[in-house]
């Protein structure tokens, strides 16, 4: 069930013209080292850490009031960090709104109803459910599933809510969004893990997420993905277990015990994940050896 989520407060930013009129800063200050320019006419003090939330706050001052922050940007404001600091701020505006093209913005022209957003700073932020819809639309299937897994795991939305929503909508890309809902699994602990799982599922393989390997001494390792009947595990290289303080690919003693228990591990690197066909082939080869 979705939990109660609160929007983050806007990070302090200001319009340069307002600061000059108030006598707080001079035009020379706006060109100097005291401030950092985020969008045309919008600034933050130099010591303010550069985060995606800061970029969202700046966009809220730079854009028309009918703008709605959505997608990965909105997810971050709801407490699910999907966007990096340098990523474009994702916004939706009506067709009638004129926005000059500018760096740092990803603008989608679509209608967001009043009940699908909530006021934030000078604009609005999409509700958790509308945010999730926009995460699903216009993305490759593995990326859409990865983002959906993340918001489900965080409790931002519940899967039945999303399933009902996409069943009722007719937006461009909604067929792919429905497929993403079918493939979603909130047990996934990272977006790369979700993408690995989707590529395997699309090739007809059905791994089990977050599977525990056990031996006579107890639990040995919790795997990203597993084929228990073949004793083949698939680990995204770089996975780290919060609260467990180990990663299988870095803990050689534990890895030796897992292999002694009869398991074969396929490590998927970031480079291999960018070549899905080769990644799937590596997993199928391991399964074939176990058959």
Q: Is residue 47 helix, strand or coil?
A: coil
DSSP code per residue over 228-257: TTTTEEEEETT---TTT---TTT-HHHHHH
Dig out the tokens for 270 from the structure: 């970031």
User: Which residues, listed in sequence order, are joined to residue 123 by a DSSP beta bridge?
Assistant: 120
DSSP code per residue over 154-220: TTSS-HHHHHHHHHH---TTHHHHHHHHHH--TT--SHHHHHHHHHHHHTT--PEEEEEEEETTEEE
| pLDDT of res. 4 | 64
| pLDDT of res. 257 | 81
| pLDDT of res. 247 | 58
CB atoms within 10 A of CB 238: 15
| pLDDT of res. 121 | 95
Angle between helices 174-183 and 128-136 (to 10 degrees): 100
Query: 191-290: CATH homologous superfamily?
Result: VSR Endonuclease (3.40.960.10)
Report domain extents, the chain: 14-183, 191-290
State the Rg of the chain over Cα. 23
Apex 84 CA angle, 81 and 88, nearest 5: 110
Q: Is residue 124 helix, strand or coil?
A: strand
Q: Which residues of the chain fall below pLDDT 50?
A: 240-246
The maximal CA–CA distance of the chain, rounded, in angstroms, is 76
């Amino acid at each position: 069930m979705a939990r109660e989520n609160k929007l983050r407060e806007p990070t302090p930013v200001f319009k340069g013209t307002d600061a000059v009129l108030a006598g707080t800063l001079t035009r020379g200050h706006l060109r100097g080292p005291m401030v950092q320019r985020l969008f045309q006419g919008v600034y933050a003090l130099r010591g303010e850490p550069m985060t995606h939330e800061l970029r969202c706050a700046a966009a809220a001052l730079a854009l028309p009031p009918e703008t709605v922050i959505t997608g990965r940007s909105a997810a971050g404001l709801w407490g699910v960090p999907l966007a990096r600091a340098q990523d474009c701020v994702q916004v939706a505006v009506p067709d009638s709104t004129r926005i000059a093209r500018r760096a740092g913005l990803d603008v989608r022209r679509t209608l967001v109803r009043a009940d699908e957003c909530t006021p934030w700073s000078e604009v609005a932020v999409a509700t958790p459910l509308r945010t999730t819809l926009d995460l699903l639309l216009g993305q490759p299937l593995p990326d859409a599933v990865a983002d959906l897994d993340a918001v489900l795991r965080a409790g931002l939305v519940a899967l039945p809510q999303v399933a009902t929503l996409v069943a009722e909508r007719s937006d461009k890309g909604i067929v792919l969004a429905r497929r993403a809902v079918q493939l979603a699994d909130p047990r996934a602990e990272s977006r790369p893990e979700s993408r690995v799982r989707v590529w395997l599922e699309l090739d007809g393989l059905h791994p089990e997420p977050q599977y525990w390997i056990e031996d006579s001494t107890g639990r040995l390792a919790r795997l990203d993905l597993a084929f228990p009947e073949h004793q083949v595990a698939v680990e995204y290289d770089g996975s780290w277990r919060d609260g467990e303080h180990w990663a299988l690919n870095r803990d050689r003693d534990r890895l030796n015990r897992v292999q002694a228990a009869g398991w074969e591990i396929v490590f998927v690197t970031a480079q291999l994940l960018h070549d899905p066909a080769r990644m799937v082939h590596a997993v199928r080869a391991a399964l074939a050896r176990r058959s």
